[in-house]
A and B are shown apart, each in its own frame.
Chain A
Amino acid sequence: MLNSRIFRTISFQLTALFCLIFAACLVALLFTTYLTTYAALRTQMQTDVRSQLNMLAEEANSDGVDTIIQDIKERTASAKNSGFYFLGDSSGQKLAGNIDSVVPVDGWSEGTVGEAAMAKIEILPDEDHEIWGEGIHLSDGYFLYVGEDSYRLRAAQEAIVDSFLWSAALAFVLAVAAGYLASRGFLQRIDDINTTSLAIMDGKLKQRIPVRGTADEIDRLSANLNRLFESNQSLLESLKQVSSNIAHDLRSPLTRLRQGLEEAKARPASNASYSAAIDNAIAESDQLLATFAALLRIAQIESGSRKAGFKDVDLSGLFERVADAYQAVAEDQAKALEVSVPDSIHYFGDGELLLQMIVNLVENAIRHTAAGTRVSLSLSNSEAGPRATIVDNGPGIPAEQRGKVFEHFYRLDSSRTSAGNGLGLALVSAIATLHGIKLTLEDNCPGLRVVMAFPPQR
């Protein structure tokens, strides 16, 4: 289960790979060492053998063969000397030395001396011992051979090969162990992420991945995923809220529509009353269509696609147009609409949407206040960007409800008898968000103050 999966984790594979690369480097290093050591030892052996051979050959040439017979005898008698010697006459008969016979070939030879040559009893049974050496023909057919036991060289060679194998084996064990250890922790954390994701897919939206606080990459990944889950959860919750609001808010007009039609059918009546019932049905469907239209418009704005059409907008002009259009409406309802807008404040945005935002806010101030209310509209420019306020001295919005009025279908009048679909401020909020405008509702003591803080341009 966990153990078998460890070997398939990326961290295990990486660790193992690094260990293998390390092992390969080690092998290459040891192989080079082997070659160098072997060559050096061999050269040294060769030099040693050759210097003895040359010395003896020179002695024979100058002082005669008999002198070196004596010399060889001395040398073989000495315990310190580990060399092998052979001196034969032209018929191959041994004159001196500790080897019985040697094939009389000039030059360096390895292991060619053969079993017959093995004079030292103690080394004979050991096949690791071989005599390597060099022979030379002296004058009058005499043949001189000097050799040495190659054991030292071959032992070194073997030691190096052995250490190769041990190192490789150790490296392999270490690779597996290190990979296992590194992966176990890693796999545990990946498992945490997997189980949390599965739980969330399963509907347990509140689950989060444990974070260790070590700020390594897995920790950062977990923290980011947690943030993703967080925003998913809140989006889903608001979606749920909106859908249930839509269901609720569309049910009432649909019910009224149906009741009206049922009533008209049940009661035989005049053409005029039928016609009135039809008109009522049309009015109810119009309201439903208008609600859908507003929802679609909000969705369209929230999608951000209109950003592509942003242009330079005469903000002052927009405020003046709204004021011109609504002053008469306010007067008719015995309210006052005051305006204070300096000329030529421009802004980069969607003119139609900004106009609708201002219209909705002004209409809100006019419609939800009593006669005698003063509504004032002002715009100013500063370093921090344009700033607009719409202030009234009406009933205002209780502090605890100010955050909610921008929600879809939220209405202060919970009986929902007043006109409007409860989407006006949701639309305002969507437009403000699209433009990066900070929208705040404040207490005007009494009344409501809506502040639109436009972000500075570019």
Chain B
Amino acid sequence: MTKQTRTVDKMTPPDVRDHPTEPDSAGRPLHVTNSGIEKARIPAGMKILIIEDDARMADYVVRGLKEHGHVVDHAANGKDGLFLAAGERYDALIVDRMLPGVDGLTIVKMLRATGNQSPVIFLTTMGGIDDRVEGLNAGADDYLVKPFAFSELLARLGAVLRRPPISQTKTVLRVGDLEMDLLKRAVTRSGKAIDLQPQEFKLLEYLMRSEGRVVTRTMLLETVWDFHFDPQTSIVETHISRLRAKIDKGFGKELLKTLRGVGYTLRAE
């Protein structure tokens, strides 16, 4: 059984789950301890604001983020949230869509209108495709549907916190001795050419751009395949294992690492 956070529409907290599950080759769930979360390397000491009216959900997220060394402020309604977000500088905002007073969508629109560019992740029970598009159009950077795994939130937070500037002109990506030439669409490791299928190329490009960060299965499904629902078979696992066979097999040091129960990361050391 696979997790299905993206297709949940109206689940409410406290359905927060700490572990996404990952099917093994037989498609059966496989669970591991939360050692994976420690490996999800999010820069510590970030200042994060969470605007969430559900006290249990907010407490859960605040505690989790504090454990990871972040400074966290919490606003229980839209008005306070907007006040805090406009007055202070935050590295990231986690905003619930449905809030008493000012709703999340309005908060983000108002912040963006005043030139505030802090990354925003929407938390929501509204998971329809239109809600998602609406949220992203309002200026949010990511969109997470409840119930979600905490590791998923951490991974996405990591992605928005270190999101590179949009005007990226780099044509060659490098992770250790792995090189990707975006113009020639060629990949080499230690100078040896590696032949990749188009989907493997897309997958590797995303992993290389997210170097050192954790990417979850859901993030890969959304960005590489544009699947905003949870398929029952292991598309991600299949393509990752094929990619791994091509870029890691026979090169000694493993670059593509699986963080059990969390996701994947590509890093050199």
Interface pair A325/B225, CB less than 8 Å apart: yes
Interface of A is mostly: helix
Interface pair B31/A280, CB less than 8 Å apart: yes
Are A424 and B232 CB-contacts (below 8 A) given A286-B17, A300-B128? yes
Q: Is B210 an interface residue (CB 8 A)?
A: no
Please measure, in the bound complex, the distance between the C-alpha atom of A306 and the C-alpha atom of B1, giving whole angstroms. 27
Q: Is A366 an interface residue (CB 8 A)?
A: yes
Please measure, in the bound complex, the distance between the C-alpha atom of A4 and the C-alpha atom of B20, giving whole angstroms. 72
Question: Which residues of A have CB within 8 Å of B45?
Answer: none
Q: Which of A293, A367, A419 has the most CB of B within 10 A?
A: A293
Q: Is A152 an interface residue (CB 8 A)?
A: no
Question: Which residues of A have CB within 8 Å of B163?
Answer: none
Chain B positions 185-239 with a Cβ under 8 Å from a chain A Cβ: 197-199, 225-235, 238-239
Q: Is B43 an interface residue (CB 8 A)?
A: no
Please measure, in the bound complex, the distance between the C-alpha atom of A286 and the C-alpha atom of B19, giving whole angstroms. 9
Query: Size range of the interface on B?
Result: 35 or more
Interface pair A279/B232, CB less than 8 Å apart: no
Min CB–CB distance A168 → chain B (angstroms):
71
Please measure, in the bound complex, the distance between the C-alpha atom of A289 and the C-alpha atom of B2, giving whole angstroms. 10
Please measure, in the bound complex, the distance between the C-alpha atom of A275 and the C-alpha atom of B129, giving whole angstroms. 36
Question: Which residues of B have CB within 8 Å of A325?
Answer: 199, 225, 227, 235
Q: Is B4 an interface residue (CB 8 A)?
A: yes
Chain A positions 308-326 with a Cβ under 8 Å from a chain B Cβ: 309, 321, 324-326
A-B contact count (CB 8 A): 108
Question: Which residues of A have CB within 8 Å of B11?
Answer: 289, 292-293, 296
Min CB–CB distance B69 → chain A (angstroms):
24
Interface pair B233/A329, CB less than 8 Å apart: yes
Are A326 and B3 CB-contacts (below 8 A) given A279-B32, A282-B18, A355-B227? no
Q: Which of B23, B28, B235, B241 has the most CB of A within 10 A?
A: B235
Interface pair A328/B238, CB less than 8 Å apart: yes
Interface pair B31/A289, CB less than 8 Å apart: no
Q: Is A404 an interface residue (CB 8 A)?
A: no
Q: Is B59 an interface residue (CB 8 A)?
A: no
Interface pair A328/B232, CB less than 8 Å apart: no
Min CB–CB distance B19 → chain A (angstroms):
5
Please measure, in the bound complex, the distance between the C-alpha atom of A287 and the C-alpha atom of B199, giving whole angstroms. 29
Chain B positions 36-82 with a Cβ under 8 Å from a chain A Cβ: none
Q: Is B100 an interface residue (CB 8 A)?
A: no
Please measure, in the bound complex, the distance between the C-alpha atom of A359 and the C-alpha atom of B226, giving whole angstroms. 12
Q: Is A103 an interface residue (CB 8 A)?
A: no
Number of residues of chain A lying within 8 A (CB) of chain B: 39
B28 to chain A: closest residue by CB: A419
Chain B positions 225-267 with a Cβ under 8 Å from a chain A Cβ: 225-235, 238-239, 241-242
Please measure, in the bound complex, the distance between the C-alpha atom of A285 and the C-alpha atom of B17, giving whole angstroms. 9
Q: Is A294 an interface residue (CB 8 A)?
A: yes
Interface pair A297/B7, CB less than 8 Å apart: yes
Question: Which residues of B have CB within 8 Å of A363?
Answer: 231-233
Are A290 and B230 CB-contacts (below 8 A) given A300-B9, A325-B235? yes
Q: Is B181 an interface residue (CB 8 A)?
A: no
Are A359 and B1 CB-contacts (below 8 A) given A283-B21, A309-B130, A328-B242? no
Please measure, in the bound complex, the distance between the C-alpha atom of A338 and the C-alpha atom of B255, giving whole angstroms. 33
Question: Which residues of A have CB within 8 Å of B242?
Answer: 328
Please measure, in the bound complex, the distance between the C-alpha atom of A350 and the C-alpha atom of B128, giving whole angstroms. 11
Can you report 26 A-B residue pairs in the complex whose CB atoms are below 8 A from each other?
Answer: A275-B33, A276-B31, A282-B19, A286-B20, A286-B21, A289-B8, A290-B230, A292-B8, A292-B11, A293-B4, A293-B9, A296-B10, A306-B128, A309-B130, A325-B235, A329-B234, A332-B238, A359-B227, A359-B231, A363-B232, A366-B233, A367-B233, A419-B1, A419-B23, A419-B27, A419-B28
5 tightest Cβ-Cβ pairs between the two chains A and B: A279-B31, A290-B4, A293-B8, A283-B29, A287-B1
Q: 8 other contacts beyond A289-B4, A290-B7, with CB at 8 A cut-off?
A: A282-B21, A289-B11, A290-B230, A293-B4, A325-B199, A325-B227, A326-B233, A419-B1
